[in-house]
Every structure is written in C-alpha cells, then in structure tokens.
Amino acid sequence: MIVVERVSRTFPARSGSVAALHEIDLTVAEGEFVAVIGRSGCGKSTLLRLIAGLLEPTSGTITVTGRAVRAPSREVALMQQQPALLPWRTALGNVLLPVEMARQPRAEGAVRARELLDAVGLAGFHHRHPYELSGGMQQRVALCRALIQRPRVLLMDEPFSALDALTREDMAAQLQALHLARPATTVFVTHSIQEAVLLADRVAVLSPRPGRVREVLTIDIPRPRSLGRSAALPAVAECVAHLHDVLAESGDD
C-alpha cells in the first residue's frame, strides 16, 4: 500500500546541508497500522510529509496505492500536531472542509460529518467554534476532518502530543475503535512508546542524524488493547522495554 524505497531527503542549511532522512525503507500493508517513533529531529515529520506528497524526496521512490507520489492525493489524509482548524468555522464546518475542497455535495458530507463528530464524543458541539472547544475537542474535530473522505491512507504526525495524559489515552482509545471499525492504512508518528504499543501492528524506530530505520518491531498483542489492562500483560511490558532499549541506543551518539 505504502512503499518507501531507499528514500533520502536533505535540506539546505547554513553550512552545507542537513540530511533529514538517509536511505529509508518502509512498507505498510493495506489496512495496517504502523507507528513511527524516534527522538525529535530524527526526521519523522519529514517522512510523513514525503508520503503525503507535500515534500519531494532528494532520492529514492515512494508509492502509495500503487502510484508514485508526486503531489498530495485525496485518498491520503493528513492529521497534524496542531488541530489547524479554521477559527471562523464551526466544528461541523471544519469537518466539511475536505468535502468542499473536493467539490462534493455538502448535504451528504454533513450526514457523515455528524456521525463522525458523534462517534468521537462531540455530539453536543457540532455548532461550536474552535475557541469554544478544549484542546482535546479541537483535535477530535481534526480527526473527524481527516476521516470524512474515508481516506485509504491516514498519516498522523504526533496528533495527541499537545494534550494532557488522560485526554491522550481517551483519544488513543477512540482512534483504536475507529481503526478497528474501518481499518485505513495508517502511519502514526509519536514519541510515546506506550501509544505506539497500544495502537500499532508494527513499530518502526528511527534513529537520528541522519534519520534511518533502526528497527521494525511487530506487536503481537490481541486487540482491542487498552492502556489500563494491557499494560500488565508480559508481552506488552516486553515490547515497551525493548523499544526503550532501542531508543536509548539510538540516542546520543
């Protein structure tokens, strides 16, 4: 579904250039949920923006749904770290933005938008503006906006990192439920090991300067998982401990 082959990306910098990513290989199967973890600055956002078609690789190839990525596609939805909501639109209006951009009928979109908002617990908030919503609610609206077009591929860049711990857990649980109900091929960037182990089929660990895939760990734990119950399972503890070790090694050079 997503195939990243020997992809490098460098950026011009004051002294020469920085290699953000160096010869990355990553394959994500249809419907699979892959988490990408790594320290900040190791190229996670760059990888996601390359897959999204917002950035071009310096070398290497990326194919999504069988086609080489040249520009953003409507089959791919991106969810950023900031909610990036339009302050003049209500929650419902924000969720409908992709529908309008694709010039699809608003009425049909609105039905689905309402369902999505209800599903993430925003039933009474369809007509509120972003400034009337908490950070967690805003990010839920952003999640609905990412899902409204039923994307085949969902790219998420640390979507919960600005939220408090309890809200994060809620959102992770909701994301898991939505993914189980309708699995989109997902690449989920996070710097939380717990979140990665809770959500992912596989976890790719990036190491910094230049960014490389250090290891890909398969998480063989039955779903649905929950932070509370699953944390006690020996398999979960093992995965978490292992990822800790890999991250620690890949840290300071």
Partner 1 sequence: MTRIRSAGLPLLGAVTALAIWWAGTVVFGIRPFFLPAPPDIVAAFRREPAYLLREAGSTVAVTVTGFGIAVVTGLLLAMVLTAWRALERATLPVLVALNSVPKVAVAPLLVVWLGFGAQPKIVLVVLICFFPVVVATMAGLTSTPVELSELSRSLSASVWQAYVKIRLPWALPQMFVGLKVGISLAVIGAVVAEINNPTGGLGAVIVLSGTSFDTPLAFAAIALLALLSTALFYLVAGLERLLVPWARAISG
Ligand X SMILES: Nc1ncnc2c1ncn2[C@@H]1O[C@H](COP(=O)(O)OP(=O)(O)O)[C@@H](O)[C@H]1O
Residues that bind Mg ion (CB under 5 A): 45
Place of tokens 């694709």: 102
Q: In what order do the strands lie in the sheet with 2-12?
A: 17-28, 2-12, 59-64, 67-68
> Rounded to the nearest whole angstrom, what is the least distance from the CB of residue 63 to partner 1 in the complex?
18
Can you give the binding site for partner 1, defined by CB under 8 A?
A: 49, 52-54, 71-74, 76-78, 80-82, 84, 86-88, 97-98, 100-102, 129-132
Q: How far apart are CA 25 and CA 212, in angstroms?
A: 8
> Rounded to the nearest whole angstrom, what is the least distance from the CB of residue 217 to Mg ion in the complex?
21
Contact track, ligand X, 45-74, x by CB under 6 A: xx----------------------------
210 binds ligand X (CB under 6 A): no
Segment holding 144, helix H or strand E: helix 135-147
Considering only CA atoms, which of 57, 102, 108 is closest in space to residue 76?
102
Q: What is the DSSP secondary-structure string of 170-212?
A: HHHHHHHHHHHHS--EEEEEES-HHHHHHH-SEEEEEETTTBE
20 binds, among Mg ion, partner 1, ligand X, none (CB under 5 to 8 A by kind): ligand X
CA 223 and chain centroid, separation: 19
Place of tokens 């991250």: 247
When CB distances to Mg ion are compared, the closest residue is 45
Question: Which CB sits closer to ligand X, 43 or 93?
Answer: 43
Peptide bond before 183: cis, by omega within 30 degrees of 0?
Answer: no
46 binds, among partner 1, ligand X, Mg ion, none (CB under 5 to 8 A by kind): ligand X
Helix 135-147 to helix 165-181 angle (10° resolution) is 20
Place of tokens 């292992």: 242
> Rounded to the nearest whole angstrom, what is the least distance from the CB of residue 245 to partner 1 in the complex?
34
193 binds, among ligand X, partner 1, Mg ion, none (CB under 5 to 8 A by kind): none
43 binds, among ligand X, partner 1, Mg ion, none (CB under 5 to 8 A by kind): ligand X
The distance in angstroms from the start CA to the end CA of the chain is 34
Q: Taking CB under 6 A as the criterion, which residues in 15-34 touch ligand X?
A: 18, 20
Cβ neighbours of 39 (radius 10 Å): 17
87 binds, among ligand X, partner 1, Mg ion, none (CB under 5 to 8 A by kind): partner 1
> Rounded to the nearest whole angstrom, what is the least distance from the CB of residue 101 to partner 1 in the complex?
4
Candidate list 7, 26, 42, 217; residue touching ligand X; CB under 6 A? 42
- Residues near ligand X, by CB under 6 A: 11, 18, 20, 38, 40-46
